[in-house]
Chains A and B, each alone.
Chain A
Amino acid sequence: NAGVTQTPKFQVLKTGQSMTLQCAQDMNHNSMYWYRQDPGMGLRLIYYSASEGTTDKGEVPNGYNVSRLNKREFSLRLESAAPSQTSVYFCASSEATRAGGGELFFGEGSRLTVL
């Protein structure tokens, strides 16, 4: 039972390079999310997708783009990486789509370093 799978787990980029973080879930969840976690800052929402074909900005969307490729997959793209984007990125999925929230199931995380 894979749950939420993220790739890659580790990545080092140079400033200005681009990359895509991939995420897939096998729980048939409608909602998917990308969070970043920085020391002393907690988990902050970057983008989310309430259903296939829809995406919306979260708290910290600048410098990122997302694609909800299908119900299973939700990718996060950094077009021109900056050192401020050095972080651990978590993909999550949930059955909940309405206000109030529900349990989030997290992937293992992707640790990104931008030099």
Chain B
Amino acid sequence: QKEVEQNSGPLSVPEGAIASLNCTYSDRGSQSFFWYRQYSGKSPELIMFIYSNGDKEDGRFTAQLNKASQYVSLLIRDSQPSDSATYLCPIGGSQGNLIFGKGTKLSVKP
């Protein structure tokens, strides 16, 4: 069964710093990887997806995928208090669904 592991945190960084969030996954055959952000009391919203090894950048966010080591990470540059949320890194399942870990809570301190 596919699993996703995340450090639940909380991860605390000062405003303006780089926040680094990491996930490992169990199935070497996984093909699609996502990063979602979830504010308290709200639904998850997509930040970005990544399918190929290497880096993918979108504004202040960079996703990094290493399939050989079975990990995916998210870097948030110039972190802002508005980035404080729980970050989810689901992987693609066998029926079009996504498989989620427990999420990492990020707190950005002013």
Q: How large is the interface on A (under 10, 10 to 19, 20 to 34, 35 or more residues)?
A: 20 to 34
Chain B residues engaging chain A, CB cutoff 8 angstroms? 8, 31-32, 34, 42-46, 49, 88, 90-103
Contact A100 B45, beta carbon cutoff 8 Å: no
Contact A43 B97, beta carbon cutoff 8 Å: no
Cβ contact of B31, chosen from A40, A90, A100, cutoff 8 A? A100
Chain A residues engaging chain B, CB cutoff 8 angstroms? 31, 33, 35, 40-45, 48, 50, 56, 58, 90, 94, 96-104, 106-109
How far apart are the CA atoms of A99 and B91 in the complex, in Å? 11
Nearest A-chain residue to B49, judged by Cβ = A103
How far apart are the CA atoms of A7 and B44 in the complex, in Å? 17
Residues of B within 8 A of A44 (CB): 100
Contact A41 B102, beta carbon cutoff 8 Å: yes
Q: Which 9 A-B pairs have the closest CB atoms?
A: A101-B92, A96-B96, A106-B43, A43-B100, A42-B102, A100-B92, A100-B31, A42-B100, A99-B94
Given contacts A101-B32, A101-B93, contact A40 B8 (CB under 8 A): yes
CB distance from B68 to the nearest CB of A (A): 19
Contact B93 A99, beta carbon cutoff 8 Å: yes
Nearest B-chain residue to A33, judged by Cβ = B97
Nearest B-chain residue to A56, judged by Cβ = B95
Contact B96 A94, beta carbon cutoff 8 Å: yes
How far apart are the CA atoms of A114 and B94 in the complex, in Å? 32
Given contacts A45-B97, A103-B49, contact A108 B32 (CB under 8 A): no
Residues of A within 8 A of B90 (CB): 43, 101, 104
How far apart are the CA atoms of A71 and B27 in the complex, in Å? 31
Cβ contact of B95, chosen from A35, A97, A106, cutoff 8 A? A97
Contact B101 A31, beta carbon cutoff 8 Å: no
Q: List 13 A-B contacts (CB under 8 A).
A: A42-B100, A42-B103, A45-B97, A48-B97, A56-B95, A98-B96, A100-B92, A101-B34, A101-B92, A101-B97, A102-B32, A102-B96, A108-B42
Contact B44 A58, beta carbon cutoff 8 Å: no
